[in-house]
Amino acid sequence: MTDSSDHGTAGTVGFIGFGAMASRMGRNLEASGYQIVAYTPSGKGGDGTTRFLPSPRQLAEASGGTVILCVPDDEALASAAYGPDGALAGMAAGTLLINTSSVSPEASLALAEAAGERGIAALDAPVSGSTPEAEAGTLVVLVGGEVEVVARAQPIFDIIGQTTIHAGPAGCGSKLKLVINGIMGVGLAAVAEGFCYGVAAGLDRDMLFEALDSVAVISPHHKRKLKAARAGDFRPQFPTRLMQKDMRLLLDAAARVAAPVPTMATTTQLLSLTRRGHANDDYSALFAVLESMVANTP
């Protein structure tokens, strides 16, 4: 994370959506000299000290030329961006719109086109990482858009993340995000299924967790999920409803280009099952779902 002395008083940034990820990004920007204003449909979020505006348009008008969108899905993006009270209506030509939301590539392309018609520079810039990385300013920012616009946004990216990857033109950040989250989801499902077999086969539960935490084939991210599953602590770092949504977007995007993703399709079904009972819990609750099935087997 960049030190605040590198920026001084850096201006005002407006956040549309100010939940667990955005509020942490906002705090890091504040620590680096930016002022933050925000909009959420409920008018609530963050730590209670941020100024909230009553509509996306008013938020955009109050921002200092940069608006960051951080909403959960395509529908929320459309509601926040378009129409007489949407963000685009309140942004002037020459301002910057950074869309960090995990949405479909088509939604990102449509937003970039609509922004371009108004002379607004737009980037799709979803992030890889969960709330711990957002808090530490160590996210990986996955950017789609023009090189010059990426350079303009780089001071912000350097604060909220440790790495910026320019994936290509508009929509490519969203495509790369689906690739990464698809691999992440499949990885968790594989670990959870292997654990489930071990329990069913009579291996000691604690020994299994310790063994899996020790081997190199499991990523640090998934080892963090193992620790949560062992403790039964599914407080959301990445809620199941959002992970399942990203997998659904991936399946749709893959079907559009006839890319075979059968393993990811199966994982989506497992996450749909998990979402039924654990929508707002961390997606590592898949461990609990599978373990309960084994425990209930005669």
Burial 72-94 (b: 16+ CB within 10 A, else e): bbbebbbbbbbeebbbbbbbeee
Strands 139-144 and 127-128, sheet pairing: antiparallel
Active site residues per annotation: 177
Residue 277 to residue 274: CA distance in whole angstroms: 6
Tokens representing 102? 């995990």
